[in-house]
Amino acid sequence: MIQPQTHLNVADNSGARELMCIRILGASNRRYAHIGDVIVAKNQKVVRAVIVRTCKELKRNSGMIIRYDDNAAVVIDQEGNPKGTRIFGAIPRELRQLNFTKIVSLAPEVL
């Protein structure tokens, strides 16, 4: 559940270490963002990012629940390509259904 003012780790080697969420994209007045949502975030520059890990658990239809220890995002550009070249940490496979297969293909571990 990421909202504006949330600080997130950066899970790639794009240069930034921490981002602060400014806005959640997708609908006006949207309150929270979860894994797979695109946010506008700021670290000296305003960039877009995809949330890849949250401390709030992610539920699957099979009943499995995945909960990470940190909130993390991957910086992307306007076209949706990741700005960094390598991703760190585990990535849930839900990102593939949300058309972020590029991030999944760069991930060291897909849960």
Partner 1 sequence: MACSSSIIGVSSSIYKTNPFRKFTSTPTSSSFHFSNPSCSFTSTDRFKSSFLPAVTSKSSFLSKNRRLSKSSALSDDYSENDFEQESEVTIDKREFAQFFPNQKMSEDTDDMFDDLFKKYGKVVFKGNAQKSAIAEVDEDAECLSFAVALAKVASDVKASDIKLLFVKPLVYWTRFFIIATAFSRPQIDAIGSKIRDLAETQYGRTATGDHKPNSWTLLDFGDVVVHIFLPPQRALYNLEEFYANATLIDLPFENQQTFRS
| Site residues for partner 1 per CB under 8 A | 53, 57, 59, 63-70, 72, 79-81, 85-86, 88-90, 93, 96, 99, 101-102, 104-106, 108-111
Cβ closest to partner 1, residue 41 vs residue 104: 104
Query: Could you tell me the smallest distance in angstroms from the CB atom of residue 16 to partner 1?
Result: 16
> Taking the complex as a whole, how short is the minimal distance between the CB of residue 29 and partner 1, in angstroms?
28
Residue with tokens 């270490």: 17
Nearest distance, CB of residue 87 and partner 1, angstroms: 8
User: What distance separates the 2 farthest-apart alpha carbons in the chain?
Assistant: 41
**Of residues 45 and 109, the one with the C-beta less far from partner 1:** 109
Complex with partner 1: residue 15 or 30, whichever CB lies closer? 15
Smallest gap, in angstroms, from Cβ of residue 54 to partner 1?
11
Reported as type and span, the H/E element at residue 43 is strand 38-43
**DSSP states of 20-59:** EEEEE-SSTT---B-TT-EEEEEESEEEEEEEEE-SS-EE
